Amino acid sequence: MDVRDTASQGLRPETRSPKLVVVAIALGSNLGDRDALLAYVVSRLKQSLQAVRVSHVIETDPVAVGPQPKFLNAGIVGLFGGTPRELLDLLLDIEHERGRERPFPGAARTLDVDLVLFGDRVVTEPGLQVPHPRFRERSFVLKPLAEIAPDLVDPVTGRTVAQLLRRLGRDGRDEKDGSPHS
């Protein structure tokens, strides 16, 4: 459709925009100035997301990764107008901008920025899995997200973030269940 076609339908090309999708992102840091690093992520994401909500920051012990400094964790929910791959690429760029290195799985990190939910999409591609495969067992992900978006639904289980958090507590599991903190 060319510009004349959209104009004849009462649409102006500059008002067309991609569909916005609710996304949930988990943040973590256990190296460097953790507070400043998380603040950087938030400021960068506010440039690409709309209607951003940010949780309080919590401090958590590292899990199943050997002796490391404690983590600061938070969650962000907002609206995104691109694809899951575009958002993942943005998150990886942000990590890289602040010195994230990956010398081995579970290594301490300046930033860990994970795509947890992308609307009701279920995506399995090389290097991209949405919903995040381990978020349901991690209170350090669920607690911040439940604070700002308790009604977000996991498209795999059909449960809300609040229900997943309650279930996690009821089952007696939390981030100390041996799941790696990544």
For position 178, what pLDDT does the model report? 38
pLDDT tens for 19-49 read: 999 999 999 998 899 999 999 999 999 999 9
Does the annotation mark 109 as catalytic? yes
Catalytic residue among 16, 33, 34, 100: 100
For position 102, what pLDDT does the model report? 61
For position 39, what pLDDT does the model report? 96
Does the annotation mark 112 as catalytic? yes
Distances (CA, A) of 42 to 25, 33, 127: 10, 15, 23
For position 111, what pLDDT does the model report? 87
Does the annotation mark 171 as catalytic? no
DSSP label at residue 101: -
Catalytic residue among 34, 98, 112, 136: 112
Q: Output the pTM of the full model.
A: 0.81
Does the annotation mark 100 as catalytic? yes
Question: Which residues, given as ranges, of the chain have pLDDT below 50?
Answer: 1-16, 172-182
Catalytic residue among 4, 5, 44, 109: 109
Buried b (16+ CB within 10 A) or exposed e, 4-19: eeeeeeeeeeeeeeee
